[in-house]
A and B are shown apart, each in its own frame.
Chain A
Amino acid sequence: MTTALEILLKLAAWLLLAPLLPGIINKVKAWVAGRRGPPVLQLYYDLAKLWHKGVVLSTAVSPAHVIGPAMAWVAIAGAALLLPVGQTGASFAFRGDALLFVYLLAFARFCIALAALDTGSAFEGMGVAREVSYAVLAEAAIITALLTLCVQSGTVSLATMLAPSAGAGAALLAAGLFGVLLAENCRVPFDDPNTHLELTMVHEVMVLDHSGPPLAAILHGASLKLLLFAVLLTEAVLPLGKLSLLPAIGVLVGSAMVVAIAVGLVESLLARLAFRRVPLLLTTSFLLCLFALLVAWKGGTP
């Protein structure tokens, strides 16, 4: 009974806190640009609004167009529950759940891509092509990062491998994961979440034909994914395994805010990359994680 309650509480915390991050990023960007900016809670208002709206469907789409976002949302929420919070560990943990984590994220991407391709629109097709091309490199970086933690801790369970710090390669790992975080969450310099230019979009163009609750699921899923990456980054670097629940939550919330501010500053001060240069930056992230892996593998032995 207590575990069920705990899982529910954790899930509620994940779901309720996630939409805060885009709000913070937008505030930072507004502050740098000298504007007042939208309220921090804007995404909550948007979600509430979308939830009450109807769904406009193209005549060309199949049910996959609506089911896709829902499945993606469930997959991301499931991945979030695999991440441990302090001493209490993850809601679900078993040997090898790190692989499930990676696959859930990949599945979410697949669902969104399928829902986008379902429209048959040239724009969305272009967006999907870009998305999955970059994913090849981004996933390599995440898997390498998790492999680093595996080697470091000697386990293949997220709860135990994220508990200690990443050791000597922590800085490399943090830099690599931050790059992946920016790429996976369609932030500058990989993508521009604010653009209205369909031809330059990656993630945004894939969701152009969605509306109402499915769009709300996509937006909320995206914010959840951002929080998930912020938490993964923090736990990979900081030894939070010893902390009890409340301090752990405190540290995680604090560091998620730091990540959001960092994302906001990157977006304020950098122009986005030309598409042909994106693989270079993603490869850099992958190499950073790879070097962290080398440090974890060879660095420990005298």
Chain B
Amino acid sequence: MNAPREFFQLSNGTSVPWADVPAWPVDEFIAATAAALEHGGRLCAWFGVPENSGTRLVAVIAYDSENTLAVGRSAPVVKSYPSLTLRHPQAHLFEREVWEQHGLTPEGHPWLKPVRRQDGGHPAVGEFFQVQGGEVHEVSVGPVHAGVIEPGHFRFQCNGEDVLHLEIALGYQHRGVEEALAGGPHRATMSQLETVAGDTTIGHATAYATILETLAGTETPLRAQWLRAIALELERLANHTGDLGALAGDVAFLPTSAACGKIRGDFLNLTALLCGNRFGRGLIRPGGCKHDLEAARGAQLLEKLRMALAEVNQAAEWLWDSNSVRARFEFTGTVSPAQAAELGLVGLAARASGLVRDVRFDHPAGWHRFAPVPVAVWPGGDVFARARMRWLEIQRSAKFIEEQLATPAEGEIFAGLGASAGDTLAVALVEGWRGEVCHVALTDSAGKFRRYKIVDASFHNWAGLALAMRNQAISDFPICNKSFNLSYCGVDL
């Protein structure tokens, strides 16, 4: 087989016949991927596809500045391959996942341990990294936490109040989402994908619907695309507002904390006004949307949106104007742009470190092809930057919704969905409120899912939190954690 020279280039929300995806012998594939990552590429997904003679590795790479995606695959691999992580740390969790799922050992991976494998009711978290020394102590937090939050384990190596190292172990909510999708789509699939990460319902539902529409070759009705774009921003508004309040709550700043809790509810109710469910469940279906926004309800939504926006601006002003809050947020949990790029951070966390990285802008699909969203970026990389980013995005999202409501798309909201093409690979990226949601589907000859890969933004970003905690006070962990606010179930799948 002659080695192909290039990855196959495609854009967001399109597909490629599996046979057209270039294949390399594994060593050359690793080298080609490493070269792509060195030349402006970013790893969106990295997974295995089992075949009779072994497992093929598949890489989905995003060239953000060129607005293109690229896919490539290896020849079937049997036991091991040279680790990509050594040159590109952003691959570290992907390689651990492939090792766990397909038994392929990345040779030279510095910290090879399970991601979410179950070991009798709990994840096989493996050995934790330990710092030795008389003054060093270990603090273990979770998986059961004091608040009503998701389970995850945090292992700190501390010297007094200072954190030397943090290791995060997840997998407590592994429920087999990807495994359940094999041979699908099934009747329950849509509902299951809406709850991959409950707070990113619109993000994941849009990605899944886009995958099926792409595979079927159907163009989604414009009005449905318009509705999805509005719902995506409503989701962002609610979550960002909730996070601003939670950040204020963690430093015991009562006014913003109390106000944002209520305003988050107002934003959730806007989604409920749109589709009857506060998290947007039941709105998006492959082939379109199930609920329309008539002019009268659109006007109602606009009015309530403006009221909630005014309130959240007021609450944010209190936060920015408070010296005691800024003293806590500034220079806490800093991730430098170089670190963020090296770790492959996405979404809000990347933009708060000054990286211009937004799927809506870099890889527009659906309605974003017609209505671009300006990217909000804030330098600094600290808790303050991530809080400030949320407020900037609240402004942009509200403005975007206002503009879209003024110029609605006309027409049907739901069109039928054709049969999925067989032996085809489809890729869909959506900028969820945390960041990039990536779905990749590979169909078998009958058009059923042979492999379905889900990469939530949290999968990229948890390592960012661990890095942000280096040399920080352990008492600042909650605000660092809240400033990322990553999903546990989105990683655990």
A and B: bona fide binding partners = yes
CA distance A126 to B477 in the complex (A): 14
Pairwise interchain contact A126-B474, C-beta atoms closer than 8 A: yes
Q: Is B139 part of the contact surface with A, judged by Cβ < 8 Å? A: yes
Q: Is A235 part of the contact surface with B, judged by Cβ < 8 Å? A: no
Q: Is B328 part of the contact surface with A, judged by Cβ < 8 Å? A: yes
- Tell which of B252, B332, B477 touches A194, judged by Cβ atoms closer than 8 Å: B252
What 1/0 flags go to B144-172 for Cβ under 8 Å of A? 00110000000000001100000000000
CA distance A32 to B259 in the complex (A): 11
Pairwise interchain contact B478-A271, C-beta atoms closer than 8 A: no
**Given A195-B252, A199-B478, A267-B252, are A274 and B473 neighbors across the interface (CB < 8 Å)?**
yes
Q: Which residue of B lies closest to A35 (CB)?
A: B258
**Given A122-B139, A188-B252, A196-B146, are A271 and B476 neighbors across the interface (CB < 8 Å)?**
no
Chain B residues whose C-beta falls within 8 Å of the C-beta of A275 in the assembled complex: 161, 473, 475
Pairwise interchain contact B477-A272, C-beta atoms closer than 8 A: no
Q: Is B399 part of the contact surface with A, judged by Cβ < 8 Å? A: no
- Closest Cβ of chain B to A231, distance in Å, is 26
Q: Is B10 part of the contact surface with A, judged by Cβ < 8 Å? A: no
Q: Which residue of A lies closest to B138 (CB)?
A: A122
Q: Quick check: which of B319-327, B358-366, B417-425, B457-465 contacts chain A, the rest being far away?
A: B319-327
- Closest Cβ of chain A to B426, distance in Å, is 42
Q: Is A277 part of the contact surface with B, judged by Cβ < 8 Å? A: yes
**Total residues of chain B contacting the partner, CB 8 A:** 31
State which size class the interface on A falls in: 20 to 34
Pairwise interchain contact A269-B254, C-beta atoms closer than 8 A: yes
Q: Is B253 part of the contact surface with A, judged by Cβ < 8 Å? A: yes
**Given A269-B254, A270-B253, are A198 and B161 neighbors across the interface (CB < 8 Å)?**
no
Pairwise interchain contact B474-A272, C-beta atoms closer than 8 A: no
Chain A residues whose C-beta falls within 8 Å of the C-beta of B478 in the assembled complex: 197, 199-200
CA distance A251 to B258 in the complex (A): 34
Pairwise interchain contact B254-A267, C-beta atoms closer than 8 A: yes
Q: Which residue of A lies closest to B250 (CB)?
A: A197
Within 8 A of A (CB), among B41-92: none
**Given A122-B140, A126-B139, A271-B324, are A200 and B255 neighbors across the interface (CB < 8 Å)?**
no
**Given A33-B258, A34-B258, A273-B324, are A199 and B477 neighbors across the interface (CB < 8 Å)?**
yes
Q: Is A123 part of the contact surface with B, judged by Cβ < 8 Å? A: yes
What 1/0 flags go to B454-472 for Cβ under 8 Å of A? 0000000000000000000
Chain A residues whose C-beta falls within 8 Å of the C-beta of B253 in the assembled complex: 270-271
Pairwise interchain contact A271-B139, C-beta atoms closer than 8 A: no
Q: Is B392 part of the contact surface with A, judged by Cβ < 8 Å? A: no
Q: Is B141 part of the contact surface with A, judged by Cβ < 8 Å? A: yes
Q: Is B341 part of the contact surface with A, judged by Cβ < 8 Å? A: no
- Closest Cβ of chain A to B439, distance in Å, is 34
Q: Is A179 part of the contact surface with B, judged by Cβ < 8 Å? A: no
CA distance A87 to B474 in the complex (A): 50
Q: Is B137 part of the contact surface with A, judged by Cβ < 8 Å? A: yes
Q: Is B112 part of the contact surface with A, judged by Cβ < 8 Å? A: no
Q: Is B216 part of the contact surface with A, judged by Cβ < 8 Å? A: no
Q: Which residue of B lies closest to A123 (CB)?
A: B139
The 8 closest A-B pairs by CB, nearest first: A33-B258, A271-B253, A271-B324, A192-B252, A271-B251, A196-B146, A197-B478, A272-B252
Known: A189-B252, A192-B252, A274-B476. 14 other contacts (CB 8 A): A33-B257, A33-B259, A122-B137, A122-B139, A122-B140, A126-B139, A194-B252, A196-B147, A197-B147, A197-B250, A199-B477, A200-B478, A271-B252, A272-B328
Q: List 29 A-B contacts (CB under 8 A).
A: A29-B254, A33-B257, A34-B259, A35-B258, A122-B139, A122-B140, A126-B139, A130-B161, A188-B252, A189-B324, A192-B252, A196-B147, A197-B147, A197-B478, A199-B139, A200-B250, A268-B255, A269-B255, A270-B253, A271-B327, A271-B328, A272-B251, A272-B328, A273-B327, A274-B327, A274-B475, A275-B161, A276-B473, A277-B327
